[in-house]
Structure 1
C-alpha cells in the first residue's frame, strides 16, 4: 500500500512547481540586446570591411585593372587600396574633420553636421530602445514622429509668441503628439492583447496619410496662397538656435537629445517605474505574480516611447529647416531608430553613441558621393549589414574565430569548478 501523496500549496509534494516562462518575444528581445560590447564592435568592423569590398568592386579603375590582373597584378591591388582608402577618407572628411578645408571652422563643420544628423536618431532611438527593454517591438517610430511633427506644426504656425514661449510649446506639443500615438498602441495592446508590431505598422500608414491630408488642406498645415502639400516657413521664434554659430550647423536640439538620454537613463536605471518596466521586459508572468500591473506598464512604456519619437518629429521641423516641411519629414529616421536601438543595446548612452555613428555615416556619405563618386546606397548597405550582424552574434563570433576561444574558456571554467 503506497503512502498518500502530500499536497503542499496546491501541488503534490513530489512534483516540480510550475514556473512561468517568458514569452518567446521577450526572449528574442533579450537575446538581441545581450550581445557583448566586443561583439558589437566586431559587427561594425565586419560591416565596414564588406562595405570596403563593395566600394572596391564597383570602382571603374578596379574593374579596369582586374581585366589584366595576370599581367600586372600590382595594378589591381593599388586600385583596390586607392578605392577603399579614398572612400573611407572621404567619409572621415565629411563626418569628422575635413583636413583639406582652408580654415579650422570649416574643418570641424563636418562634425557639427554629424551631430545634426544624430540628434533625431538619438531621440527616436531612445523611444524604440525603451520599448525593447519592456519586451515591446515598437516599429511605429515613423508614425509617432509624424504625429509629433503635426502637433508641433499647429503650435508653430498657429501661435505668434516670443521665442522663450514659442519653442518650448513646440517641443511640448511634439512630445504630446507622440505620447498620444504611442499610448494608443499601449492601450490597445493592454486591453485587447493586439500585437504591437501590427498596430504600430498600421498606425504608421495612418499617420503618413493623415499628415499628407493636413499639408494639402487649406487652413490646416498647408502653406497659405500655395497649392503644394508643404507647410509654411518655420518662424524664427520656433526654431532651435545654433549652438556655436555659422558656419557650424549644430543647434540646441542636440542638447535636448542629451537631456532626453539622461532622463531615460534615470527612468530605467534609478526609478521605481523603470524597475517595474525592466521586470515586465524580463518576464511579464513573474512580474504580474509579484503584484506589478503589467497592462499599465505596457501603456506607460509605449506612451513614453511615443513621446521620445514625437520629440524627434519636433526636432525635424524646429531644427535648421527654413522652407517648410512635407509628409516625408521623418526622412526614414523612425526605422533607422530601430537599428540605433539595437546597436546601442537599448541603453540610453549606448543609443547616444550609436546615433552618433549613424549620424557620421549619413553626413560622410554625401562627401563620398561628391569626392569619390561612390553611391550613397553603399552607406545604406553598411547600415543594413550592421543590423544583420548585431542580430546574429554567433555569426560574428564565428567569423572572427571567437567560438573556439569560448569553448576553451568554458572547458577551463568547468575544470576549475571541478
Structure 2
C-alpha cells in the first residue's frame, strides 16, 4: 500500500496538477481576450464527446499522435533525439500510397502489403539518420530535421510524377482492397472516419513496452542509450544498435502515415507544408514521460484538445490559437516539473503531517 501511495504521489499528481495549471493559464488568456472560459471549455468537451461522430473523429485525431509519440519516445529511451518523425511519417504515407495505387491485389494481400511497405519506408528513412550517426558521427538532430524537408519534396515529386490524378493536386485514389476503414464502426460512429490504425496504435503501445523492457534487444538498446562506452565494453555493437533504434522509431512514425492514407483520406496530396504530426509527437512524448502508457494518455489529451478547439471557436468564439496556449502551458509545467513540485509541496507536507 505504501508503494502504491508513493507511485501515486510521484507519478500521477505532478502530471495532473500540470494539466490543471495549463487549463488555468488558458482560462486566464481567454478572460484577458474577453472570452468566457467556462463556456469555452464546455464547448470543447461537447465537441469531443457530444455525439458519436465527434467521439469518432476525436479518436481519429488521437491515433496518429500515438504513433508519432511512440516514435519520439522510443528514440529518447535509447539515447537519441528523433526530430525527423515528421519526415518518416510522410515517407510512410508515400510507401502506402505507392502500393495502394499502383498495385491491384486481393484485399488480404493488398492492405497488409501497403502497411508493411509504408512502415519500412518510415523505418529506412530513420535508419539513414542512425547510419549517419553511427558511421560518420553526424548528429541525429541535424540530419533528421534536414531529412524532414527532403521527405516532403521527395514525396511531392513521387506523387506528381507517378501517381497524380489528372487535373488534381493529389494522387489517384487508393484501391478499395487496400483501404483500412472499418465499415461497421464508421456506421456506428455516424460516418466518423474510423479505421484499423487505432487498434494497431494500441498494439504498438504494448509492443513498445515488450520490446524495450522484456527482450534482450531492448536491454541492449537502453544500455547503449544510457552509456555507449559501458555498452561497448560489455561487448555490445553500439553502431548497429544505434541504427536499429532509429529504424524501430521510424517504423512507428511510418505506421502513422500509412493509416492517414489508408484509413482516413484514401489518397495523398501534393503538400505545401508538412502535416505537423511528427512535431506534435515530440510534445506527446514529453507529456507522457517517454513511457508507452504515458504516450497513450498524452495523445488522448493532445488530440482531444486539438480536435475540441473547433468547438471553442464555434461555440464560444474563441480562436483556435488559445488551445495552443493551453497545450503549451501544460507542456511547460510538465517539463518544468520542479515548479509544479514547488507549488504542491506545502499541500503535500500538510497532508503528510496530518497523516502522521
The 5 Å alignment of 1:265-276 reads 265-276=209-220
| TM-score, normalised relative to structure 2 | 0.89
* Structure 1 residues 120-164: Cα deviation after superposition (integer angstroms, max 9, x where no partner): 110111111000001100000111011111111110110112222
Larger RCO (alpha carbons 8 Å, 6+ apart): 2
Match of 2:265 among 306, 321, 325: 321
Aligned to 1:237: 177
| Structure 1 residue 276 displacement after superposition | 1.1
Q: 248-257 or 129-138: which moved more? A: 248-257
Q: After TM superposition, which residue ranges in structure 1, 4 or more long, deviate above 4 angstroms?
A: 403-406
User: 3-state DSSP class of the match of 2:92?
Assistant: helix
Match of 2:345 among 390, 398, 402: 402
The 5 Å alignment of 1:222-371 reads 222-223=164-165, 225-226=166-167, 228-242=168-182, 244-246=185-187, 247-249=190-192, 250-322=194-266, 324-327=268-271, 331-371=275-315
Match of 1:94 among 39, 47, 67: 47
For residues 119 and 329 of structure 1, the distance between their equivalents in structure 2, rounded to whole angstroms, comes to 21
* CA-based RMSD: 2.1
For residues 215 and 111 of structure 2, the distance between their equivalents in structure 1, rounded to whole angstroms, comes to 29
Match status 1:53 vs 2:6:
no
For residues 245 and 404 of structure 1, the distance between their equivalents in structure 2, rounded to whole angstroms, comes to 47
For residues 120 and 291 of structure 1, the distance between their equivalents in structure 2, rounded to whole angstroms, comes to 37
| Structure 1 residue 169 displacement after superposition | 1.1
| TM-score, normalised relative to structure 1 | 0.77
The structure with the largest helix share of the pair is 2
For residues 285 and 40 of structure 1, the distance between their equivalents in structure 2, rounded to whole angstroms, comes to 34
Aligned to 2:318: 374
Q: Is the 8 A contact 1:121 1:340 kept in 2?
A: yes
For residues 235 and 141 of structure 2, the distance between their equivalents in structure 1, rounded to whole angstroms, comes to 27
Aligned to 1:390: 334
Q: Which runs of 5+ in 1 are unaligned?
A: 1-34, 63-82, 99-106, 410-418
Aligned to 1:166: 110
The 5 Å alignment of 1:19-34 reads none
* Structure 1 residues 278-301: Cα deviation after superposition (integer angstroms, max 9, x where no partner): 112222222222222221111100
Q: Is the 8 A contact 2:160 2:270 kept in 1?
A: no
Q: Which runs of 5+ in 2 are unaligned?
A: 1-9
Q: Is the 8 A contact 1:268 1:277 kept in 2?
A: yes
Greater Rg by CA: 1
* Structure 1 residues 354-379: Cα deviation after superposition (integer angstroms, max 9, x where no partner): 11111111221111111111111111
Tell me the number of residue pairs that the alignment of Structure 1 and Structure 2 aligns: 339
For residues 49 and 193 of structure 1, the distance between their equivalents in structure 2, rounded to whole angstroms, comes to 44
